[in-house]
Structure 1
């Protein structure tokens, strides 16, 4: 089978020929149909996360070395099952929950595999969707997406479940308070559609790219603000009638968190999903005196992914813009994402 692998960080992915794996035990073999490309893939391709102050967290420090087969946004068809794989049939079309843990720790036993300290994520620790076939360790990670477009459904496994899990952390306030969404890329547009499906008040969207802001406006944003403006924080305070109660930072950089802190209301709740990197200094008394909640959110659980797919089906939620490309164009797709040219999501289609 063809695998498009990172063999050297920052260099073009290579088409590597490998044997088709055979499922054992509870494993399931999927023929990959569509595989999304997201910013996490970009960090993995580059080989590090920016920690700010000149510090980096390298993949090698996390025990991850090339060759790597990326993509954790995967839809495919079951073509073979291991002898112990139950409740799954050959021919079933599924979305894969990639955020897999060790299966033995307390997090995993509580269903919070995305928080496991010994992660086995597909497309990161284990081979992902930029290959013609992929092994899924157990049928419980397969989510039935009958009736959904395979390419449009693929981003639900990351952009979808990440924003869904993050928005749930705001609780019922999303019904009465607008959410400030920082970042109008694939996750930002997904969050906009989710807020509509959840019958929430709506969102004010912030980005540095006017083209992405126009896409957000077209998707139903209450208003949009270019954060390059010197008075962006004041614009946000005015748009939220005195300060934002709910802020979703989908970029996760020094400028975006600084903007969030500058525009947050008393009692503001900031949830950070983005991993662009950097560091920030914050006076500790500010947190209890305002008082602020600053919370991280990392992808989501398999149950949240199932909830999300059901929400999509029940509400007929619109998909985010998806640019479908043949997998053979994967390197140009990486360059477009790196250069900020992507509206929504690029999904690579396997020509099988």
Structure 2
């Protein structure tokens, strides 16, 4: 088995070759067909999250061990199953739910493995999809993709699931009647613009400083795109929203974006943050009750939500976000492109022998 691993934080990924694992018990072995390169991979590769005020949250202190095969947006074809695995057959293609919990605690038993305090997420605490094979610990984590191309399906395991779960945290009547202001037009922001109308929402207004991403946001279904570089950008957002902003999805999560979002909200408004850019904010405590604000974090989503999302995608036949495919051996190139802000939509790693190793999926 060939993989491209983090062997030292912040250093180039290293090609590794080791025996292909053999599944036992409930395990399933997949041949990797597509792996999305997520912005979270940057933090994992760098080994930390910025907490602001000069503080860092170390991934190594949280239990991450090196060498690590990253990649948590994985589609693969079943090539072998353990003797206790049920419900899957060799040759079938699946999207992998990567946010594994311990499976035993109360959080896991109620179906929220992504919130487990002893989480074992793939690509973070166990090997992920920057490899030609991936071992999945239980068949229940495999989600049917129907006839979706693997490169289109892969990003739904994180960017799709993250935005779907976050949008569900807004009250249904707000989602149906008010535009959601989406901060950032990266993979998450484009997914939000795409999914919002499919979920019965009133659409999105996207805030994005990089004008090269504006067209992609509009093509994904955004009602309007505003640049925060404009002096009157907040007025533009309010006008596009009909005068008041009730719902904000922050896909960046920096000090500036969170503070701007809080400032934009109407009385009774809600900001949901999924972005992990890093930083620190100071909130005057009286404002929270006086303005009846809700500031909520949302961490990916649970298995049930991913199953719901994939059913929605298949039934509505949603167009893909812009997706650039490249061979697995260029994993580090893709990571650097993401770090430098050069990626539009999602970059997806595919097998070396794929027919179209570098292409953009049609809209």
Q: Which runs of 4+ in 1 moved over 4 A?
A: none
CA contact (8 A) 2:65 2:125 kept: no
More deviation, 121-130/225-234: 225-234
Note if 1:26 corresponds to 2:26: yes
The equivalent residue for 1:141 is 141
The equivalent residue for 1:56 is 56
The SS at the match of 2:330 is helix
The equivalent residue for 1:111 is 111
Deviations 1:232-263 (A, max 9, x none): 22222232233310000010110100110111
The equivalent residue for 1:220 is 221
Distance 1:98 1:220 in 2: 28
The SS at the match of 1:246 is strand
The equivalent residue for 2:357 is none
CA contact (8 A) 1:6 1:12 kept: yes
The equivalent residue for 1:195 is 196
Aligned residue runs from structure 1 range 1-352, under 5 A? 1-172=1-172, 173-351=174-352
Distance 1:15 1:291 in 2: 52
Distance 2:343 2:152 in 1: 15
Distance 1:229 1:67 in 2: 44
The SS at the match of 1:34 is strand
CA contact (8 A) 1:233 1:262 kept: no
CA contact (8 A) 1:242 1:265 kept: no
Distance 1:212 1:106 in 2: 42
The equivalent residue for 2:359 is none
Q: CA RMSD in A?
A: 1.0
CA contact (8 A) 2:39 2:338 kept: yes
Distance 1:217 1:303 in 2: 30
Q: CA deviation at 1:221?
A: 1.3
Paired residues in the alignment total: 352
Deviations 1:96-133 (A, max 9, x none): 00000000111100000000000110111000000111
Question: Where do 5+ consecutive residues of structure 2 fail to align?
Answer: 354-363
Distance 2:313 2:351 in 1: 24
Q: TM-score, normalised by structure 2?
A: 0.95
Distance 1:113 1:62 in 2: 17
Distance 1:320 1:218 in 2: 9
Question: Where do 5+ consecutive residues of structure 1 fail to align?
Answer: none
The SS at the match of 1:204 is strand
Distance 1:188 1:241 in 2: 21
Q: CA deviation at 1:171?
A: 2.6
